[in-house]
Chains A and B, each alone.
Chain A
């Protein structure tokens, strides 16, 4: 069953089509990879889905509900949460306070929020860092904090925008395990990633974007053997 349906979504900035006529579905419990060269429109699509800018055309159906025109906070309340390519820690607040802000989406009690937050901090293995100021964390931990924080909003669908960007191999490996753990919690995930090896390994299906259009969709094996994809990544001579 599809938890998210993207139906012919287009997004124009002036005359520039950042997304044009993109359609795909994401099923319950799966990990969907979203790949494409720089400027392919991946982050724009995330922004359209999560309410940061309304799509110019098309529909976004999440959990049977039309999401077009909803603000990001409403989208989050309906159970769709995102992380940012450029991490956005609440710098002057502690790690656990950051996560509590996410948890307060579902409760008004600080005590409950703190309990939820501590659980999520444990999920990303940062309990020993709970009282550290978020602004003083190194990049690897900032990325994990970002994940813990959205998890605390109790999402059904999680959109991860390059959570492995800028990480060393050990840290990337930790994030990969984290993504797999999150799926085990019953949370559907869409991930944007440039690390091909990683994305091939963890995705159930992959959508490839190029110049704002959907180029291909399929299992990782289907996508890597698709000649259009190879051309987009490596040039016509390799196709």
Chain B
């Protein structure tokens, strides 16, 4: 194995090749997967990868546990949708406008909330996101309040008069999501392997020590937040365009903020790929629970009889219990895999290697 290792960042040539192959595979999937449901799940995974990874830069690397990331998601989603619906500005401009608004929002929030530390910061981040939700709920002229904004179609992307893609099927959304997800992961890698990454982690480990070592806390916390808010808002815009409908209860909800944090925690915070793994684990899992797939599978496999008490119970109730099961999963991960799924796998591999040698 030594042959394959180059010393830059300790990444072996073999794993780079593997990564390239995997990414190539992801790009090829829509060519041979025709199931719209499978593509739908993949798009949801990509959105979750983007939000989880974006949160990770602020929460995982810099240690500022924001539980208000729905604010940036929602600001992105609303900016894009409002511009499209009421001003007829195409999303490819709206998305960037949303990102800029989210970034500015982030810096405004940061300048207030970053004075607070630990649990107080967490509470402030929740409060600020709730302010955004309630504001969106009541600013009827701009956001259409609780009714939300519904679009019937996404205009095609064209350069000049050439239509690049029409956004009628799921495939263009798949590629958009994939590219954004890869971008945020690449940015995370770049951050980790730069001065920024060192400073972010120093702030996470001990703010006072970091301060005394010449780190401008306000500057670097806001830098982390800026990157984080930017990508979270991109995910929000993508979600809005993909689903075609937003309202304060979905894109600005506390639920969403919590979901974003959980994805990162379950995958492994403070790692480049952790949140992506969290998304890959969680999105299909929660979809399966919600859509009664698990109950159906248990019945189909003959493990549980459909007309038995347990069978009817599972069929009727399991889909309602997905939040509960989610909670249990989180507890299990925190208890038995404190470094997330990725940390757990790494530990297993290290153990295996030790046994072999």
Interface residues of A (CB under 8 A from B): 50, 52, 71-74, 76-77, 81-82, 84, 88-93, 97, 100-102, 104-105, 108, 110, 113, 149-150, 153
A157 and B204 CA atoms in complex are apart in Å by 27
CB-CB < 8 A to B216: which residues of A?
71, 73-74
A104 and B205 CA atoms in complex are apart in Å by 16
Contact of B189 with A by CB under 8 A: no
CB-CB < 8 A to A102: which residues of B?
213-214
CB-contacts of B182-225 with A (<8 A): 193-195, 198-199, 201-202, 204-206, 208-217
A76 and B216 CA atoms in complex are apart in Å by 10
CB-CB < 8 A to B204: which residues of A?
92
A77 nearest CB neighbor, chain B only: B214
B60 CB, nearest partner CB in chain A, Å: 11
Contact at B212–A110, with CB atoms within 8 Å? no
Q: Pick the contact of A88 from B193, B199, B206, B215 — CB < 8 Å?
A: B206
B221 CB, nearest partner CB in chain A, Å: 12
A143 CB, nearest partner CB in chain B, Å: 14
Contact at A104–B199, with CB atoms within 8 Å? yes
A231 and B357 CA atoms in complex are apart in Å by 65
Contact at A110–B206, with CB atoms within 8 Å? no
Contact at A110–B201, with CB atoms within 8 Å? no
B124 CB, nearest partner CB in chain A, Å: 22
A189 CB, nearest partner CB in chain B, Å: 16
Contact at A88–B208, with CB atoms within 8 Å? yes
Contact at B214–A73, with CB atoms within 8 Å? yes
Contact at B209–A88, with CB atoms within 8 Å? yes
Known: A93-B205, A101-B202. A81 touches B212 (CB 8 A): yes
Contact at A76–B198, with CB atoms within 8 Å? no
Contact at B212–A101, with CB atoms within 8 Å? no
26 contacts between A and B (CB under 8 A): A50-B212, A71-B211, A72-B211, A72-B212, A73-B216, A81-B212, A88-B208, A88-B209, A90-B202, A90-B205, A90-B206, A90-B209, A91-B205, A92-B204, A92-B270, A93-B201, A93-B202, A97-B198, A101-B202, A101-B210, A104-B195, A104-B199, A110-B193, A110-B194, A113-B198, A153-B214
B230 CB, nearest partner CB in chain A, Å: 22
CB-CB < 8 A to A73: which residues of B?
211-217
Rank and list the top 10 A-B pairs by shortest CB-CB distance, nearest first. Answer: A105-B214, A90-B205, A88-B209, A76-B214, A72-B211, A101-B202, A88-B206, A73-B216, A102-B213, A73-B214
A99 nearest CB neighbor, chain B only: B213
CB-CB < 8 A to A82: which residues of B?
212
Known: A81-B212, A97-B198, A102-B213. 7 other contacts (CB 8 A): A52-B208, A82-B212, A84-B212, A90-B206, A90-B209, A101-B198, A105-B215
CB-CB < 8 A to B215: which residues of A?
73, 101, 105
A175 and B206 CA atoms in complex are apart in Å by 24
B183 CB, nearest partner CB in chain A, Å: 22
CB-CB < 8 A to A113: which residues of B?
195, 198
A131 and B199 CA atoms in complex are apart in Å by 18
A153 and B211 CA atoms in complex are apart in Å by 12
CB-CB < 8 A to A108: which residues of B?
195
Contact at A101–B208, with CB atoms within 8 Å? no
